[in-house]
Structure 1
Amino acid sequence: MIGKNIYEIRRRRGLTLTELADRAGIAKSYLSNIERNLNKNPSVNVMEKLALVLDVELKELLNTEKPNESQTDQLDKEWVEFVNELKHSGIDKGQIQEYKTLLEFIKWQNKQDIGNK
């Protein structure tokens, strides 16, 4: 189950197996074995590296409970595709943060528009 969690989170983040392995500093073959549940007991050190790169808490990777529908549908498919498009166009998280103020203004403006109707 740990391998499946890593695989699903990696895919949601738009990372290839190679990208995740490189960023975490582990062998691609080792990561592949974890994802395919051939290695069912990876070290805590490896799991912490993966959690850091995937930007999730370690407990999310270790979660062995069957996810409910709301967890699996947590991210709307369109948003995932949008984020992947941004990533592949060369825009990174840091650049997105620069626009946070603008996004907050747009949200405020939308609330004002709704209140004026």
Structure 2
Amino acid sequence: MVGMRIKRLRIEKGYSINELSEKSGISKSYLSYIERGIQQNPSLQVLSRLANTLETNVEDLLDNKKKEDTIELQNIDDAWIQLVHEAIQNGITKEDFAYYLDFIKFKKLNGGNNH
């Protein structure tokens, strides 16, 4: 359950519920509802803020399984590298990129390409 994972990460970071609320910009009452399982389907924006504050990602908040699949930098082909360079040249920030990745993961976990 997402609330339990958020609470566990919050405690691991040494944050009180007030501190996480302030750092993430999520109201204390809403955060409490999430942690207690009253609110079981927080929005992507809320999950993204919490994930960033807790130094994790939305996928890990939604899916407790740790992915052991890592891509070594040397195995990334030139097309990917060029794409990232182009995005940076066009002004994308790390935060924007992380948000787009979280959005894609969220969509995949919630039914893929249903429009």
1:58 positional shift: 1.2
The equivalences for 1:1-117 within 5 A come to 1-63=1-63
Q: In 2, Cα distance between the equivalents of 1:63 and 1:14?
A: 22
Q: Which amino acid is 1:16 matched to?
A: S
TM-score by length of 1: 0.54
Q: In 1, Cα distance between the equivalents of 2:63 and 2:16?
A: 22
- Is the radius of gyration larger for structure 1 or structure 2? 1
Structure 1: 4+ residue segments shifted above 6 A: none
1:24 positional shift: 0.6
Percent of counterpart pairs with the same letter?
39
SS of 1:39's equivalent in the other structure is: coil
Q: Which amino acid is 1:55 matched to?
A: E
Unaligned runs of 5+ in 1: 68-117
CA RMSD of aligned residues (A): 1.4
TM-score by length of 2: 0.55
Q: Which amino acid is 1:44 matched to?
A: L
1:63 positional shift: 1.2
Unaligned runs of 5+ in 2: 67-115
Give the number of the structure whose residues are more often helix, by fraction: 1
